Chain A
Amino acid sequence: MKSRLIGWSIAVLVLIAAPPLLLAIGQPFYLDLVRRIMILAIAAISLNLILGYGGMVSFGHAAYIGIGAYAVGILGFYGMFNGWLHLLVAIVASALVALAIGAVSIRTSGVYFIMITLAFTQMLYYLGISVAEFGGDDGMRLKRRSHLGIVDLNDPVQFYYVALVVMLVTVYITHRIVNSRFGLVLRATKSNEARSRAVGFSPYPYRLTAFVIAGAICGLAGALYGNHTNYITPGLMSWQQSGDIMFMVILGGMASTAGPVLGAFVLLLLEDLLSSWTQYWQVILGPLLVLSVLFFRRGLAGIFYKPDA
């Protein structure tokens, strides 16, 4: 418990100190990279809630990144730049879509669940491609970033701290959820569904609620991501994007608080490092990932922590 707090404190201090240091040594690019990592870490944290704690292998989590980003893009397209409205619409729309997708897919399990969540997200992906008004396949540039009033997202440093704060708040909220009564039902049912049913829990409403919460959080990440890239394409909803987020969770460690954050940082920093060395970087990254999964069964977080129960 104490070592965890120390670990988190060090990580947070480093992230707080990073912008002035990076600017001082003339590396604003890395500010951009770390901001992107933190935003995708939020998405990974939300996926971990259902994948790691709930045992629901959603292979369509990028849908909510897309919905969040398109919420920002489409509202801006019609001249609405109020950032709070953007965030609200991103979260509510994602939650509603998650409710619809979850209501159908949670009735299935195993491979069927994976395929149904993937199929729904592919539907949204092709919807994005087909709507020419919002750029279709090419996507569209944001007219302006979301106006949040108190902070300016056009300022890279301010935006960086927004992403950091949202990420930390998300970590804390999910940490509370997974240890609440609700979270325990979710985790217990992942551990042994027959036992949960026999003891009196109906799994469906709990799973569906978790699915909706995860979608809503990921929608928030999507709104930030749209502002980050300043450009919105259907590619945000591609299955590769879903796979990336899933990999962050698995690499970092499922069902751990720090896992998804760790996974996002390691995966994307490694990607950046290797791609600067060689254009064949994926040939190196692939086997590294395979090895990490083989040797760290509880993910990278499992190296530092014992599982909590």
Chain B
Amino acid sequence: MLEVRQLVKNFGALRATDGIDLEVREGETHAIIGPNGAGKTTFISQLAGNLRPDGGRIVFGGEDITQLSAPRRARKGLARSFQITSIYPEFTAVANVALAVQAHASHSFRFWRDARRDPQLLAPARRVLEDVGLGARANVLAANLSHGEQRQLEVAMALATRPRLLLLDEPMAGMGIEESQRMIAFLATLKGRHTIVLVEHDVDAVFRLADRISVLVYGRLIATGAPEAIRANPEVRAAYLGED
């Protein structure tokens, strides 16, 4: 599904991504963990196309997408959520999701019909909102949603594009315990139905959700494997898990 080969990204003298090799299999939930500053967001930004790598290749569904822009990758089925919530605050929740639907319904050079009342956009948008549990909040301005709801909305926007691969960058960031638990439960329902790359700081969540885990330290992947294997890996324990 997704293949990363020898990916390199430098920021000045700092090698933020240092020759990463990674394979994500169809249908799996693949978590990427690592301490702060390990380069997790840098890595996922290169997958999504927000950052251009300095070396290496990214192959998605058999196609080399290394040189494609973020919008083109999105249209090919790569959907991302951001670590810092990224929504359209001046639009209602359902309008946010409807825009995501619209982005994947051919071009938007349509100048006349009122898109705010277009059932072709609103019906799927409402369905996705119901799925993520925001159905009752559809007509609330996104800016007025709680932080947890905004994070859910962002995942809803990613889902509304009917992606082949979901890139979730710390979906639990900034959430309270209760909100986190709800988000984890929700992500568990996506498991198996979607291929997911989950970047997460919260180790407990990762061990509950992931089929496989890759550990990123100082820009390098030091281990990839099933959760039990990662838990038992001495190198990982020294570099990361042992800190807790």
Q: Are A180 and B113 in contact (CB under 8 A)?
A: yes
**Contact for A195 among B72, B87, B115, CB less than 8 A:** B87
**Contact for A191 among B75, B88, B116, CB less than 8 A:** B88
User: Chain A interface residue count: which class?
Assistant: 20 to 34
Q: Does A181 count as interface, using CB distance less than 8 angstroms?
A: yes
Interface core residue of B89, B110, B121, B141 (most chain A CB under 10 Å): B110
Stretch in contact with the other chain, from B14-22, B53-61, B91-99, B213-221: B91-99
Q: Write out the residue numbers on chain B whose beta carbons fall within 8 Å of the beta carbon of A206.
A: 108-109
CA of A187 to CA of B91, assembled, Å? 10
Q: Does B102 count as interface, using CB distance less than 8 angstroms?
A: yes
Minimum CB–CB distance from B141 to chain A (whole Å) comes to: 7
Q: Does A111 count as interface, using CB distance less than 8 angstroms?
A: no
Q: Write out the residue numbers on chain B whose beta carbons fall within 8 Å of the beta carbon of A180.
A: 110-115
Minimum CB–CB distance from A45 to chain B (whole Å) comes to: 15
Mark contacts of A176-209 with chain B using CB atoms, 8 A cut-off: 1 yes-contact digit, 0 otherwise.
1101111111011001101111111110001001
Q: Does B119 count as interface, using CB distance less than 8 angstroms?
A: no
| Cβ < 8 Å to A, chain B residues 104-153 | 104, 108-116, 118, 121, 141
**Contact for A185 among B79, B108, B114, CB less than 8 A:** B108
Q: Write out the residue numbers on chain B whose beta carbons fall within 8 Å of the beta carbon of A184.
A: 95, 99, 102, 108, 115-116
CA of A225 to CA of B43, assembled, Å? 55
CA of A179 to CA of B118, assembled, Å? 11
Q: Are B86 and A192 in contact (CB under 8 A)?
A: yes
**Contact for B74 among A185, A191, A199, CB less than 8 A:** A199
Q: Does B30 count as interface, using CB distance less than 8 angstroms?
A: no
The answer to whether A195 and B88 touch (CB under 8 A), given A184-B99, A201-B71, is yes
Q: Write out the residue numbers on chain B whose beta carbons fall within 8 Å of the beta carbon of A307.
A: 90
Q: Does B205 count as interface, using CB distance less than 8 angstroms?
A: no
Output the nearest chain B residue to A193 by Cβ-Cβ distance.
Answer: B86
Q: Does B50 count as interface, using CB distance less than 8 angstroms?
A: yes
Q: Are B103 and A199 in contact (CB under 8 A)?
A: yes
Task: Report how many A-B pairs have Cβ atoms within 8 Å.
Answer: 101
Mark contacts of A160-185 with chain B using CB atoms, 8 A cut-off: 1 yes-contact digit, 0 otherwise.
00000000000000001101111111
Minimum CB–CB distance from B4 to chain A (whole Å) comes to: 19
Q: Are A198 and B102 in contact (CB under 8 A)?
A: no
CA of A176 to CA of B87, assembled, Å? 24
Q: Does A309 count as interface, using CB distance less than 8 angstroms?
A: yes
Q: Are B72 and A179 in contact (CB under 8 A)?
A: no
Q: Does B100 count as interface, using CB distance less than 8 angstroms?
A: yes
Q: Are A192 and B115 in contact (CB under 8 A)?
A: no
Q: Does B82 count as interface, using CB distance less than 8 angstroms?
A: yes
Q: Write out the residue numbers on chain A whose beta carbons fall within 8 Å of the beta carbon of B141.
A: 309
Q: Write out the residue numbers on chain A whose beta carbons fall within 8 Å of the beta carbon of B71.
A: 196-197, 200-202
Q: Are B104 and A200 in contact (CB under 8 A)?
A: yes
28 residue pairs of the A-B complex, CB under 8 angstroms, read: A176-B111, A179-B114, A179-B116, A180-B110, A180-B112, A180-B113, A181-B108, A181-B113, A181-B115, A182-B111, A183-B115, A184-B99, A188-B88, A191-B90, A196-B99, A196-B103, A197-B69, A198-B50, A198-B70, A198-B74, A198-B82, A199-B79, A199-B103, A202-B72, A206-B108, A206-B109, A307-B90, A309-B92
Not counting A180-B115, A183-B115, A199-B79, a sample of 4 additional A-B residue pairs whose C-beta atoms are within 8 angstroms of each other reads A182-B110, A195-B88, A196-B99, A199-B100
